Structure 1
Amino acid sequence: MTKQLPPLFREKMIDLLGEDEFEQFLASYDEPRSFGLRVNTGKVERDDFVAKSPFHLTAVPWASEGFYYEEGERPGKHPYYHAGLYYIQEPSAMAPVELLAVKPGERVLDLCAAPGGKSTQIAAKLQGEGVLVVNDIHSDRVKALVKNLELLGVRNAVVLNDKPEKMLNVFEGYFDKILIDAPCSGEGMFRKEEEMMGQWERHTVQEFAAMQRELLGQAALMLAPGGRIVYSTCTFSPEENEAQIAEFLDKHPAFDVIPVDGFSSGRPDWLREPWCEADAYSERAKAAVAGTARLWPHRLRGEGHFVAVLGLEARSLGAGGKASAKSSAGADDFVSAAGKRSGRHALRGKGRAEAPPSTGVSLEPLEAFSGELLRSEPFAQRRLVCYGEHAYASPAGLPELHGLKVVRPGWYIGALHRGRFEPSHALAMGLRLREAKRALSLASSDERALRYLKGETLEVAESEILRDPQETKAAKGYCLVCIDDHPVGWGKWLDGMLKNEYPPGWRWT
């Protein structure tokens, strides 16, 4: 492995680290890489998962829900993966969201989100409250982002596929926290993904540095006073790390670096030729980058990362506090595909809903489904938005998204089609067993659990269907299918048989 490192990269790291530390750094490439997973506390408590985990887990020191698992174990081939109880994630990659310090109820942006690992980590910390906006400019990567959000049962996320400069028209001064996991030269991933070395030789550090500079400037305009930006890369290059932060601080004096503890410090001494322009930064900026963090593969169990935490003065946009984004329709409004507010409605009380005739979409089938299948109100404090026949529960307080490429305006509920409602897989994954009036919970050791995940029809006795005690009707129709009480999809029960509604693209292979 070490012999395959690009010669220019080796020379650069020798210059930065010096001969002695470079030898330690180089030796890490011949060591086994570390494997990690992060418990999805949006679905299961950390300690509850640890108690029933089939894997040998060791805690990741810098991530409260992160664990190492042993090489050879296959968490992607366990029913709990399909239930969204964890996300398989490189351990160092868990650090940026931990440093973002997300609290429930906040407005958070993941600006470069695909494939969604950090987005789902943010969502778990929001605990279903507040607004999570995730964006990626690459349309081919957004599909994976959407699937991961759905798999982990995220209810309060909006997915965009647009340029950050266009987002400024909607979100200026809106977010409490912003994550920029920036496109970079990927030097820190050489051990994990050897193909990154080929990409490094084809693309220049300067290309990435230009993109990173723009992203930081755009994010600064979308942050509310008193807010926090976490900027991270998976590269060692000072041009993409310390230099980006120093330049940003000089251009944005209202920002400061919030020092990071527990990792190796950033390197102000690397702001020099030939890697960075000499004397290009103020003394304040150079001193501040010592508060950034570097995660080195020869100093911890993880790959290479850089993280900087940037705080914005609470008074920087004036005494009015948070800059106001244009408010959306309220939590009780129905919005049509055209985005026009079209009268009051909510699934409240016993799930009643009312949609105005002008929308051309009747919500009665959704109301009937909700009344029959759902015990609680998972749509409370959200507004229902219909794009054509597709219904979404959009987070309350979200601005109007006119002019943006919207992939998901919220939690996808299902389709209203020819007088009937077809619940989505995302709805099933976002529910909890306690919220369903009709459910089947299979043990992970039950061979039918694996058969369900493969898309097979199951034999299920009516007595196995969990229902409200006062329910006297037959159990026929939709039921929420769970594994060890964690939802994995829908089924339709009739006369002892459960018709499988698990999506083909999700099935166990």
Structure 2
Amino acid sequence: MIELPQSFKNKMESMLGGEYPAFLNDYQKPYYRGIRLNTLKCGERTLKASLPFSLEPTPFSPVSYYIPQDAQKVGSLPMHHAGAFYSQEPSAASAVTALNPVPGDRVLDLCAAPGGKSTQIAALLQGSGLLWSNEIVRSRANVLLSNLERTGVRNAVVSSCHPEALCSGLAGYFDKVLVDAPCSGEGMFRRDEQALQDWSQEHVEACAVRQLAILRSAAHALKENGVLVYSTCTFSPEENEEVVSAFLKERGDFALTDCGVPFGRPAFLPQARRVFPMDGGEGHFVAVMRRISGSSAYPAPYLPKKPSMMEMAEDLYRQVFKMELSSPVEQVGESFLILPRELPYLKGLGVIRAGVLLGEAKKNRMEPAHALFMSAKPQELNSVIDLPHDSEQIAAFLRGEEMESDPRCHGFTGVAVDGVLTGFGKCSGGRLKNRYPKGLRNH
């Protein structure tokens, strides 16, 4: 049984009125569990066939599903390693559904870690346009990067930068900006004991101050007619409707628009939406705003320098892929990156990674990166081994073990599970030397 603070219960009772008993009753039940299909790497039929449990659709996204309460070790499943799905509380998909990214959009996810919403945006972009994912806390930004790599995202920039500096540097650049703001986490009480322990009315009020400051920064990054989505996983009006109202009062050039989604219920600002546990999710607030003013600022394009060892990079690419390397490449130290086609000026914006890591220079050779294979399709590779999801071979591969391979496979070889790439090794003489990263292996 969850013991809720009395002041929180009083607030919820005044918000919900006659629905308050149903809310309390839901809070004594297990929290909702879910996953979201990653359409960059997999189709629904393939995913469903690979999982040891059933999926039920949620109202929050066409590719979001409820999973059973007793589903075990979801993160160790081969299809999770392959990036075919992302574990995500169902209503957390609601903000990106309201944002509605389409291929070709430039999208900024300003408070992006651990990456659930960024990976959802990337799948909707389908490799076209640009995703910029930012996280101010560097350790959390590294987790964000790992999740974008696992889910095969090619057209992303990951940064760790203060929102004000980032949005000033990228003023007027983005079609869409998501602010999934740090909040008091009231919607997470059932699944996060720490959020419950940390809660206080003072914390709520401190969050509201920070949230408004982030929104002020985010506004600069949008072009004319650009869309700004503000979301939280909390119930407090102070952090939701009141933050949005304060922002709109300051910025008369932004207009609140209807979320255009059927899930949840109207918020106290009727164009915005709220999700309570009674609506099938843990708790979310989403508001959509449009910039109606022009923006005179615009960042310069990024012009990468051609690497001194470009021939070596191209040779490695030919070893792995059937096609030639056609995207721009940049060298950062010993690392080689395949960049997205169009980038704004990157300097001074805390960029950790732009595009996909191709490989690392080692003396007189170059080793391919795990991320290179995760962003590929099996049919693009010169050499690939495809293993069934329930085979002992894929289990051994994910433990980091050396394994037998088809004698016809040679050199750097992708390893797929049910047609979805999950890593690589190096084949020689009917054996595959495993290159699955040690930090990702099952034990």
State TM-score, norm by structure 1: 0.83
* 357, 361, 366: which one aligns with 2:313: 366
* 286, 295, 300: which one aligns with 1:326: 300
1:442: Cα distance to partner? 1.5
Q: Distance in 2 between matches of 1:383 and 1:491?
A: 26
Within 5 Å, give how 1:209-248 maps onto structure 2. 209-248=208-247
1:497: Cα distance to partner? 1.3
Aligned residue number for residue 317 of structure 1: 294
2:50 touches 2:389 (CA, 8 Å); kept in 1?
A: no
Which amino acid in the other structure matches residue 375 of structure 1?
K
1:17: Cα distance to partner? 2.3
Residue 236 of structure 1: SS of its match in structure 2? coil
1:160 touches 1:407 (CA, 8 Å); kept in 2?
A: yes
Aligned residue number for residue 422 of structure 1: 367
Q: Bigger CA drift: 363-372 or 424-433?
A: 363-372
2:30 touches 2:190 (CA, 8 Å); kept in 1?
A: no
Aligned residue number for residue 185 of structure 2: 186
RMSD, matched Cα: 1.7
Residues 425-447 of structure 1: CA deviation (Å, up to 9, x unaligned): 11110111011011111122321
Q: Distance in 2 between matches of 1:445 and 1:47?
A: 16
1:170 touches 1:326 (CA, 8 Å); kept in 2?
A: no
Q: Distance in 1 between matches of 2:202 and 2:93?
A: 26
- Residue 494 in 1 paired to residue 428 in 2? yes
1:158 touches 1:408 (CA, 8 Å); kept in 2?
A: yes
Residue 217 of structure 1: SS of its match in structure 2? helix
Within 5 Å, give how 1:343-358 maps onto structure 2. 355=307
5+ residue gaps, structure 1, are: 268-288, 330-334, 336-340, 343-354, 356-360, 466-474
Considering only CA atoms, is the larger Rg found in Structure 1 or Structure 2? 1
2:108 touches 2:133 (CA, 8 Å); kept in 1?
A: yes
1:373: Cα distance to partner? 2.0
2:133 touches 2:159 (CA, 8 Å); kept in 1?
A: yes
1:112 touches 1:135 (CA, 8 Å); kept in 2?
A: yes
1:202: Cα distance to partner? 8.7
5+ residue gaps, structure 2, are: none
Which amino acid in the other structure matches residue 277 of structure 2?
P
Within 5 Å, give how 1:273-284 maps onto structure 2. none
2:48 touches 2:54 (CA, 8 Å); kept in 1?
A: no
Aligned residue number for residue 72 of structure 1: 70
Q: Distance in 2 between matches of 1:302 and 1:168?
A: 31
Dislocated runs of 4+, deviation >6 Å: none
Residues 439-480 of structure 1: CA deviation (Å, up to 9, x unaligned): 1111223211100000001022314x3xxxxxxxxx2x2111
Residue 67 of structure 1: SS of its match in structure 2? strand
Residue 61 of structure 1: SS of its match in structure 2? coil
Aligned residue number for residue 115 of structure 1: 114
Q: Distance in 1 between matches of 2:42 and 2:378?
A: 12
Q: Distance in 2 between matches of 1:47 and 1:175?
A: 34
Could you tell me the percent identity over the aligned residues?
40
Residues 395-424 of structure 1: CA deviation (Å, up to 9, x unaligned): 122111111211112211111232211111
1:492: Cα distance to partner? 1.0
1:52: Cα distance to partner? 4.8
Residues 7-26 of structure 1: CA deviation (Å, up to 9, x unaligned): 211122222223x3221111
Aligned residue number for residue 155 of structure 1: 154
Q: Distance in 2 between matches of 1:486 and 1:256?
A: 42
Residue 56 of structure 1: SS of its match in structure 2? coil
Aligned residue number for residue 287 of structure 2: 308
1:111 touches 1:181 (CA, 8 Å); kept in 2?
A: yes
1:51: Cα distance to partner? 5.0
Which amino acid in the other structure matches residue 165 of structure 1?
E
Residue 248 of structure 2: SS of its match in structure 1? helix
- Residue 481 in 1 paired to residue 415 in 2? yes
1:37 touches 1:68 (CA, 8 Å); kept in 2?
A: yes
Q: Distance in 2 between matches of 1:57 and 1:423?
A: 36
Q: Distance in 1 between matches of 2:196 and 2:351?
A: 34
1:365 touches 1:421 (CA, 8 Å); kept in 2?
A: yes
Residue 253 of structure 1: SS of its match in structure 2? coil
Q: Distance in 1 between matches of 2:200 and 2:194?
A: 10
Q: Distance in 2 between matches of 1:100 and 1:46?
A: 22
Aligned residue number for residue 17 of structure 1: 16
Q: Distance in 1 between matches of 2:241 and 2:184?
A: 15
2:46 touches 2:418 (CA, 8 Å); kept in 1?
A: no
Q: Distance in 2 between matches of 1:196 and 1:306?
A: 17
- Residue 411 in 1 paired to residue 410 in 2? no
How many correspondences in the alignment? 440
Residue 103 of structure 1: SS of its match in structure 2? coil
Residue 291 of structure 1: SS of its match in structure 2? coil
